[in-house]
């Protein structure tokens, strides 16, 4: 697997986001199968694995810690803080919380669940307007000095917030949704990352599965699958957005690969500091996704895709309104 740098942190060119093992897309697979897939990703070259305390909550960190325990020294583990979780029930309650005391408590708990001594990359999951970002960065800086964290990251943060945080503690990576159908980071965040030497980690690089070409207007989602309530996954939106999938199929056919591989290869070709994290529960999909690292999109290919995208109007907001309200603060 080819390597890329998030700031000074070397990782595989593609990372593995493990949220899909936390019932976000319906019932989770058996633990043994989840561990097999995660370890299979590492065996095939993945070194960056992403989780968060609220995936579950908590259960995803425990799963990842067990799966990667035997290869701890060979991987980069990223996790996140920033929400309130009721310690009695293990459910998310009360919204955002990035108070310094809360950050410190979450880090100690995440270290225990992951069964590691140091978190390689610690993200603020969403910017908390009630806590100055300088206080958040300063708290993480102290955790780095104490050896509990190695690198600092931000998720779904606005450019000015990233700059302010970076002035206190170097930001290694910014993680935001970014793909062929979600391009909000392009005007401000990506240029700032390039300016400051910060890595960029697109989550949902395959559009929650839509860009793989395996979902259409007739697909039915389980009620506990988040896509059942997502504006971009209504039947009407899916029917309209098939135009984008048709484009991917056409490019993929010419390259002898799959639509998912083109979607990932496009991200890799955008900037050398971009490291997408895909999510899947299937080992064959891991192999398919990793194949994108070997697909070279030339300048002419990128121009062709960009020209076609300009004629495609994506239908539906990328997330429900209440979730969108937490982004780009």
Structure tokens at 205: 């690089």
Q: Which of 55, 123, 178, 328 is catalytic?
A: 55
Beta bridge partners of 315: none
Distance separating alpha carbons of residues 271 and 275, to the nearest angstrom: 9
b/e code 4-18 from CB counts within 10 Å (16+ = b)? bebbebebbbbbbbb
CB atoms near residue 209 (< 10 Å): 21
Give the Cα separation of 269 and 247 in Å (integer).
17
Pairing of strands 9-12, 15-17: unpaired
15: Cβ contacts below 8 Å, ≥ 6 apart: 46, 47, 48, 49, 50, 78, 201, 275, 276, 277, 278
Give the Cα separation of 227 and 114 in Å (integer). Answer: 28
The two tokens of residue 242 are 């098939």
Side-chain-side CA neighbours of 253 within 13 Å: the count stands at 7
Dihedral angle of Cα 287, 278, 56, 135, to the nearest 10 degrees: 140
Burial of residue 74, with CB atoms counted within 10 A of its CB: 0-12 exposed, 13-18 middle, 19 or more buried: exposed
- 178 a catalytic residue: no
DSSP state of 29: P
Active site residues: 55
């Amino acid at each position: 697997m080819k390597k890329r740098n998030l700031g000074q942190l070397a990782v595989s060119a593609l990372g593995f986001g493990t949220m899909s093992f936390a019932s976000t897309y319906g019932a989770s697979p058996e633990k043994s199968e989840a561990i097999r897939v995660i370890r299979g990703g590492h065996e095939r070259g993945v070194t960056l694995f992403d989780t968060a305390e609220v995936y579950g909550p908590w259960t995803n960190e425990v799963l990842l810690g067990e799966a990667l325990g035997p290869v701890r020294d060979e991987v980069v583990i990223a996790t996140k803080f920033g929400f309130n979780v009721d310690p009695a029930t293990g459910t998310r309650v009360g919204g955002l919380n990035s108070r310094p005391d809360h950050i410190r408590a979450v880090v100690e708990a995440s270290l225990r669940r992951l069964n590691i001594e140091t978190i390689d990359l610690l993200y603020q999951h969403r910017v908390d307007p009630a806590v100055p970002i300088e206080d958040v960065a300063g708290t993480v800086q102290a955790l780095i000095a104490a050896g509990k964290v190695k690198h600092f990251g931000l998720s779904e943060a606005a450019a000015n917030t990233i700059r302010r945080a970076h002035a206190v503690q170097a930001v290694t990576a910014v993680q935001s949704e970014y793909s062929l159908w979600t391009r909000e980071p392009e005007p401000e965040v990506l240029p700032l990352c390039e300016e400051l030497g910060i890595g960029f980690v697109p989550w949902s690089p395959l559009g929650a599965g839509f860009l793989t070409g395996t979902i259409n207007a007739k697909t039915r989602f389980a009620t506990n699958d988040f896509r059942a309530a997502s504006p971009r996954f209504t039947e009407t939106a899916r029917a309209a957005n098939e135009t984008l999938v048709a484009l991917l199929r056409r490019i993929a056919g010419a390259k002898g690969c799959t639509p998912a591989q083109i979607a990932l290869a496009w991200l890799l070709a955008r900037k050398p500091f971009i490291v997408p994290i895909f999510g899947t529960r299937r080992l064959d999909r891991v192999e398919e996704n990793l194949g994108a690292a070997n697909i070279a999109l030339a300048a002419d290919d990128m121009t062709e895709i960009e020209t076609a995208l300009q004629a495609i109007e994506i239908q539906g907001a990328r997330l429900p309104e209440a979730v969108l309200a937490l982004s780009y603060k």
